[in-house]
Amino acid sequence: MFPEIGLFLIILSTVLSLILSTTAIAGIKLNNAYLLGYTKPLNSLVCLTLASALVILGYSFVTNDFSVAYVANNSNTQLALFYKIAAIWGSHEGSMLFWVFFISLWGTIIFNYAPKESNLFHTKMIAVLALVIFGFSLFMVFTSNPFARLLPEMPIEGRDLNPILQDIGLIIHPPLLFLGYVGLTICFAASIAALLSGGLTKQLARYMQPWAILAWVFLTGGNAFGSWWAYNELGWGGWWFWDPVENASFIPWLISTALLHSVLMTSKRGILGSFSIFLGILAFSLSLLGSFLVRSGVVQSVHAFASDPTRGMSILTLLIVFAGTAMALFAQKAQISRNKISDSLCSKEIVMLLGNVLLMVAAASVLLGTCYPLIIEVITGTRISVGAPYFNSIFIPIASLIFLLMGLAPLIDWQKSPLSALTLPLVLMFVCAALAVLISVITKGTFDIWLFLGLFTSIWIISATLFVLIKRRASARNTTKGPQQSSLRFYVMCCAHVGVAISVLGATFVSNFEQEELLRMGPGQGKTLAGYNFIYEETQEVDLKSYSAIQAKIRVEDADNEQLITHIYPQRQTFKSNAMQMSAAGISSHFWRDLYISMGQQLTDHPHLNDNEYLIRINFKPLVNWIWLGALMMMLSGLLLIICRKKAPLFNQDSAQEKTSSMENSNESSTDKK
């Protein structure tokens, strides 16, 4: 009974979203306040129906209703309760419902808290969001029904949640990623609304800015926790593999980063309005393209949600309809901003614009490497693979240029700076480059270009940020406008940039100085690596509710004084519901390094030898946790920027400056007329 109610609610949300969009468009066209008055309750009703459907799906998981195909395929009576809740978004159908619900929820929040003077703009946004919800809801009803029944042949027991998903990463990573996609959907709706309103003005960009920031924050968290999840769970020992599904979420993040900075320039300087609109449309389109890659089965990945060509074609159809219509509207309505961008190369606008263009180039290079094998397979029928060497050789140089501009932008002024203003940045850049060369030669014994690029960009961003902070503090002491100039927003931006540098430094060190040994080990055997003794003490058996495991107890000692540091317990797990085996890595984490051990199959190729030997992989990973530390700093910076948005003097200052400027222009016009 409840699953049928859930399906009815999805169908109802489909109808209501179409009515909402039609009512909003008609009300705007006819300037009919009576019709526009219905948009708010209709919007809330759509959100309520989708929320109720999501609750019913959760209830089906909690009560082990295996007559629902989605529950039977992703749950089990032995599954822990919090994994049953997380399984709601653990596969394709539930994740789509989760995604659509949060689109409606964000739309409701925006509409209910929108300033009165922007009602028309936000009504246009709601009309676009309602059309997106309508398209996604149709997709669920016809191809991805989360409440599809298995009657009359209902299984007694479920197939269980994929063991790879039975990790805290499932509780954190997918929701963050979906919320990031929802944020891009909001930016898409705002971009279309701005096009229909005559362009993205400074005021409209201010409405759009917090949603662009939130989208970026959630996508940053989704990508960071995704790599952390794979690092901890899969037992491979890496942190990023340039997997097609990883790329599918990384590409929208790159564009959302460009969108964030472009909207900032539009809201502050009134420039690049059309470029911001284009990026808003592009970011949403790429999130749909990523969903197509993940869910269609056209790419093979352990991260893939589904492999159904029908669903893939449906998502591709949605992509063509939404992106095609939006781009056609952009081509028709977009106008070149009247505010001229500074033609001086020594200006913050030009540096940030170049950075945004490079972010788009970086996204295009990753997209090409991801889709090229698919294109070749369609044309020739031959399967090829594009691996890490391509992505590293193309992406790293582009990223290095972006980081170079990231450090330079805060050091120069808006509009135009004298060329002499570049003297100190160039000197600082030279010092950072020399220091990077010195560290590279000392640590590796020779010059390594990849190590140099990572070190140089990290040192450069941190040094440039410290330099501009010192300069800003000194300026604040010498002026009565110190509190305004030393705005909280500026410090938050500095924190985000330092977070990027810390992540880059962590990735650089773990990529260049990681040590690894793959060997057979049994009780009493040991190995020395990176100044540590690893001694296999014993093999233990573990029996838990959902799986049993063979566990190695490995003693870790300091190689110099043989003092005990810790014990590490890698496992070889066998899940009881489906007999699936997987390796669970044992990790000793430290601020400066990780000791990472994974346990493979039992080795029985020599029966006369000790048959209690296993394939053991030992990794020493310096600074690997800095990757996620930097990501957390970036996320925290974005959240602080939103929280302090109304409190920071700079925002009020900008508004006051605009009003003053407007009044001055008005007075000048009056004088001219007289």
Is 70 a domain residue? yes
Question: For the residues of 547-579, what is the DSSP string, one character each?
Answer: EEEEEEEEEEEETTT--EEEEE--EEEEETTT-
Query: Residue 670 has what pLDDT?
Result: 43
CATH, residue 120: 1.20.120
> Would the pLDDT of 662 be above 50?
no
Q: What is the pLDDT of residue 78?
A: 84
Residue 486 pLDDT greater than 90, yes or no: no
If asked whether residues 292 and 193 sit together in one domain, one would say yes
Contact yes or no for 304/245 (Cβ under 8 A):
yes
Provide the residue range defining the domain that includes 42.
1-161
In 10 A of CB 306, how many CB atoms? 17
Q: Quick one: 69 and 210 in the same domain?
A: no
Residue 609 has pLDDT above 80, yes or no: no
Instruction: Considering only the C-alpha atoms of the chain, give the largest distance between any 2 of them, rounded to a whole number of Å.
Output: 107
Is 388 among the domain residues? yes
Residue 528 main-chain phi, psi, to 5 deg: -100, 130
**DSSP string across 56-98:** HHHHHHHTT-TTBHHHHHH--TTS-HHHHHHGGGSSHHHHHHH
In a domain, 440, yes or no: no
Q: What is the pLDDT of residues 579-607, one digit of tens each?
A: 888 889 999 999 999 999 999 888 876 55
Q: What is the pLDDT of residue 396?
A: 93
Q: Are residues 175 and 256 in the same domain?
A: yes
> Looking at the domain assignment, is residue 508 inside a domain?
no
The DSSP bridge partners found for residue 614 are: 521, 602
Closest CA to 109 of 653, 644, 642: 642
- At 610-636, the pLDDT tens digits run 568 899 999 999 999 999 999 999 999
* Model confidence at 338: pLDDT above 80: no
From 413, 430, 464, the end of a domain falls on 413
pLDDT at 288 over 90: yes
197 and 176 housed in the same domain: yes
**Total domains, the chain:** 3
**Domain check: are 167 and 264 in the same one?**
yes
Tokens standing for residue 642: 């939103």
pLDDT at 525: 92
154 assigned to some structural domain? yes
Q: Is residue 666 part of a domain?
A: no
| Judgement on whether residues 280 and 375 belong to the same structural domain of the protein | yes
Q: Which pLDDT tens digit goes with each residue over 631-644?
A: 999 999 999 988 87
Is residue 506 a contact partner of residue 623, using CB atoms and an 8 Å limit?
yes
CA 604 to chain centre: 43
Domain finish residue from 382, 413, 444 = 413
Report pLDDT digits (tens) over 447-474: 999 999 999 999 999 999 999 888 887 7
Does 21 score more than 90 pLDDT? yes
Q: Do 88 and 73 share a structural domain? A: yes
Residue, of 336 and 224, whose pLDDT is higher: 224
Q: Could you tell me if residue 144 is inside a domain?
A: yes
- Contact present, 369 and 386 (Cβ < 8 Å): yes
- Domain termination site, one of 390, 413, 436: 413
In a domain, 399, yes or no: yes
Mean pLDDT of 213-217: 95
Which residues have CB under 8 Å from 436's CB, separation 6+? 452, 455, 456, 459
CA distance 527 to 535: 7
Q: Please check whether residues 156 and 166 belong to one and the same domain.
A: no
Q: Examine the domain organization and report whether 130 and 207 are in the same domain.
A: no
Q: Are residues 135 and 235 in the same domain?
A: no
pLDDT digits (tens, 9 = 90+) for 257-278: 999 999 999 988 888 889 999 9
Query: b/e map of 616-636 (b: 16 or more CB within 10 Å)?
Result: bbbbbbbbbbbbbbbbbbbbe
Q: How many CA atoms lie within 13 A of 398 on its CB side?
A: 20
CB-count exposure of residue 114 (10 Å: 0-12, 13-18, 19+): middle
> Taking residues 556-570, what's their average pLDDT?
94
Length of the chain, in residues: 674
The overall average pLDDT reported for the chain is 86
Instruction: List, for residues 398-444, the tens digit of each pLDDT value.
Output: 999 999 999 998 888 776 666 666 788 889 999 999 999 999 999 98
Residue 276's CB: how many other CB atoms inside 10 A? 33
Identify whether residues 259 and 314 lie together within a single domain: yes
Region of 615 on the Ramachandran plot (φ > 0 left; ψ -120 to 50 alpha; else beta): beta
Phi-psi region of 117 (alpha: psi -120 to 50; beta: other; left: phi over 0): alpha
Dist CA 431 CA 326 (whole Å): 47
Q: What are phi and psi of 617, to 5 degrees?
A: -110, 125
The answer to whether residue 237 scores a pLDDT higher than 80 is no
SS3 (DSSP) at 614: strand
Is the same domain home to 168 and 101? no
- The predicted pLDDT at position 359 comes to 97
Per-residue pLDDT, averaged over 522-547, amounts to 92
Given CA atoms 204, 115, 215, 45 in this order, what sign does their dihedral have? negative
In this prediction, residues 177-201 reach a mean pLDDT of 93
Q: What percent of the chain has pLDDT over 90?
A: 58
Cα 345 to chain centroid distance, Å, stands at 32
pLDDT at 647: 52
